[in-house]
Amino acid sequence: MNAAKRLEIFRRLHEDNPEPKTELAYSSPFELLISVILSAQSTDVGVNKATAKLYPVANTPQAIYALGVEGLSEHIKTIGLFNSKAKNVIETCRLLVERHAGEVPQTREELEALPGVGRKTANVVLNTAFRQLTMAVDTHIFRVSNRTGIAPGKNVVEVEKKLMKFVPKEYLLDSHHWLILHGRYVCLARKPRCGSCRIEDLCEYKHKTSDD
């Protein structure tokens, strides 16, 4: 795919949604961090339902740590893998208090040192909470990048590096949100909705579908 096509793709995505946002509900960097940890292999809708009850009770590292694993598990038991996630969150809260004075760190290395935080989670927090130029590649973004030809790659790190290189600079900061929303609602895994796609004429996918 050439640079002119990529520029037009992101121009259209920006035109349709000038200020894209994550669908996770949060009101602080800490809440976002916890919600992203909880969202692994779970839907944002499911996470939001759980945190809507959790955060009014506890929304600081100190308060969630005080709940303990069992107390936290009660609040998030509707989320998949809640037992292991509860353990990770409690340990993360302990480390945030001990190492970072209860604040969410703003570097990838420090974030990835926290339990339950991998490269993707760190990138989400850095981009969404702190507005850093990072690219969090999940299954949706991996699929869209490969299927459209925007940034094909064999693994998520390869796709991440290509997106950081190829996405036009003026659109880079918000591109992660546009791509994830496009994958979630238009460029679906089983059957992409090509007939409803704003970038169908620019996409290099060879097996276009109709919406019938």
120 is catalytic: yes
Rounded Cα distance, 88 and 84, in Å: 6
Query: Can you give the C-alpha Rg of the chain in angstroms?
Result: 18
With CA atoms as reference, report the closest residue to 56 among 46, 67, 45: 67
Instruction: Say what the alpha-carbon torsion angle 70, 121, 130, 198 is, to the nearest 10 degrees.
Output: -130
197 is in an annotated binding site: yes
**CA distances to 110, 111, 152, 160, 172 from 119, in Å:** 11, 9, 19, 10, 18
93 is in an annotated binding site: no
162 is catalytic: no
User: Catalytic residue among 120, 161, 165, 208, which?
Assistant: 120
Q: Which residues contact 31 (CB under 8 A, 6 or more apart)?
A: 51, 55, 59
User: Catalytic residue among 44, 138, 201, 211, which?
Assistant: 138
Tell me the catalytic residues.
120, 138
Residue numbers belonging to the annotated binding site for [4Fe-4S] cluster: 187, 194, 197, 203
Residue numbers belonging to the annotated binding site: 187, 194, 197, 203
